[in-house]
Chains A and B, each alone.
Chain A
């Protein structure tokens, strides 16, 4: 394959990719379908922001946020069914079970571990020793700006953690498991080795949760923007949206079977962070995964970083195997 030159690199030499928004297919179907899948993303984002901005204090609660989050994800699952981006990414029962297993781990075991040794502990320790007065400048900011900063700080940290995972072997080992997925679906973001899920969750964005309403608004960015990173839905995302936000197009390139493409689009919510650091490529890919699209079993997903790490250590530091004598 010849590949396509993007800046200093050539991508798509190992697997087919599409580069450039003008080459990406549009939503097919009648005017109603086109209208829905063109305006769904911005409408939901602004509707949710408006809801949390104006909701009375009796409604602006975490439990309502959890309810909305679940409802929205079920709605997105429905959209995947109605308007898939690729038929080859269609959700199957086995994929759903695997995805939900990891979502479940995130809500139970990982959350439990996090409360002892993760970012929760880290942030709590910092908050105890920080003088409240010194943070008045932040809590006095407009709510939407506070929300944006909470997400941006978290996303900025996550960008570098993610980029580090693709550039430093010890971090790549746990992250590599996530790159064995062969299709994108709404819950695929949760699939990965638990060590990686713990690492990627580290961040101090949650440090700025002093104003509950700002925190709920920040959660909206995660829900109404971040959720589209792994989704099998064809949208006609507006130009400004795909300039600012990470989309499933961007993220499919990141998961492509083409190695050079995977070294792009590292951010979680704001793709402009990638644009700032020169790692953004606008495009999409259908063929995803590693090793030609081999799907890892759950057992291998759990053990792979350790077995691979051990193999590498043995190769590097182990005794060389005895030479086979010539006959």
Chain B
């Protein structure tokens, strides 16, 4: 984790990520100013970092080199003195910074030379972070609904005599299906195994209609998203730094 940056002022008049004029709490840094305690958890979707620049590099030159990154579709940016503010609306998947919805890049003078400090905000990171609990919720919902699930006849809306008739028909259909089907002579000739009579209560057969909904997939996806969040939080932080570094340092060397 990189050190926090003092947020630059003043902010662009239109808050980032606002689609209808209303500020978006997820990506609006003013949100952090209003609610300082949120800083404790803001690392979830805020990426902060710094990059030492060559001693002779002016902020104008540095921002000129970074400018192509902000000329993507759906991106607007504003440069005021040593600060560049950008925000993105529906960036394309091909945009190298599409994971971020907005941010501030600021060049500060230090005794060792100029330093680029950046503060990027990503709703995608927040979304991924929240997906794990969401899918855990789905798992709990599945368990709860399984407990309250009524017998099939009632669920199907059959009552009284109609329910009995339905029950008989369903049982007959199941019994008919359970009977092994003889193999076609072509399949016999080709050596396909003869089908077995399904065992009672055998749930591991294709098709899912006769199975109770299971919470397992929801648990699996909760785990996947937890892992993806950790990977994304580290990866996107590094990729952003590498991207800035490439634009600011490599191009200069070339």
Contacts and interface: CB of A to CB of B under 8 A. Distances in A.
Interface stretch (A87-95, A154-162, A262-270, A274-282): A87-95
Interface string A91-128: 01111111011011001110110011000100111011
A86 to B, nearest CB: 10
A93 B232 contact: yes
B235 interface: yes
Interface in B191-237: 191-193, 195-196, 198, 204-209, 213, 217-218, 221, 224-225, 228, 231-232, 235-236
A48 interface: no
Interface residues of A, number: 64
Interface in B119-173: 123-124, 127-128, 131, 135, 138-139, 141-142, 145, 155-156, 166, 169-170, 173
A40 to B, nearest CB: 25
B187 interface: yes
Interface stretch (B30-38, B176-184, B241-249): B176-184
A250 B195 CA distance: 38
Contact of B142 (A65, A112, A116): A112
A293 B92 contact: yes
A109 B177 contact: no
Contact of A56 (B169, B193, B221): B193
B250 interface: no
A94 B184 contact: no
B84 interface: no
Contacts of A297: 90, 123
B149 to A, nearest CB: 9
Given A95-B93, A132-B177, A212-B195, A143 B187 contact: yes
Interface in A176-234: 181-183, 206, 209-213, 215-216, 219
Contacts of A96: 228
B250 to A, nearest CB: 19
A83 interface: no
B206 A65 contact: yes
B55 interface: no
B224 to A, nearest CB: 6
B73 A140 contact: no
Interface string A151-170: 00000000000000000000
Nearest to B170: A128
A65 B205 CA distance: 10
Nearest to A59: B193
A54 B193 contact: yes
Interface string A265-300: 000000000000000000000000100111111101
Contact of A142 (B73, B187, B213, B225): B187
B221 A104 contact: yes
B9 interface: no
A219 B206 contact: yes
Contact of B127 (A54, A107, A124, A298): A298
A183 B93 contact: yes
B98 A111 contact: no
Contacts of A56: 193
A130 interface: yes
B105 interface: no
A62 interface: yes
Given A62-B204, A212-B206, A182 B94 contact: yes
Contacts of B204: 61-63
B91 A215 contact: no
Nearest to A100: B224
Given A62-B205, A108-B221, A128 B99 contact: no
Interface string B65-85: 000000001100000000000
Contacts of B232: 93-94, 97
A140 B195 CA distance: 12
Contact of A94 (B98, B187, B191): B98
Contacts of A183: 93-94
B135 A104 contact: yes
Contacts of B205: 61-62, 212
16 contacts: A53-B192, A93-B232, A94-B124, A97-B131, A97-B228, A97-B232, A100-B228, A104-B218, A107-B217, A108-B135, A108-B218, A139-B181, A143-B184, A210-B181, A215-B207, A295-B93
Q: What are the 8 A-B residue pairs with the smallest beta carbon separation, nearest first?
A: A132-B176, A104-B221, A107-B217, A215-B206, A209-B207, A142-B186, A139-B181, A108-B138
Given A107-B221, A142-B186, 7 more contacts: A54-B191, A92-B93, A96-B228, A182-B92, A215-B206, A293-B73, A297-B90
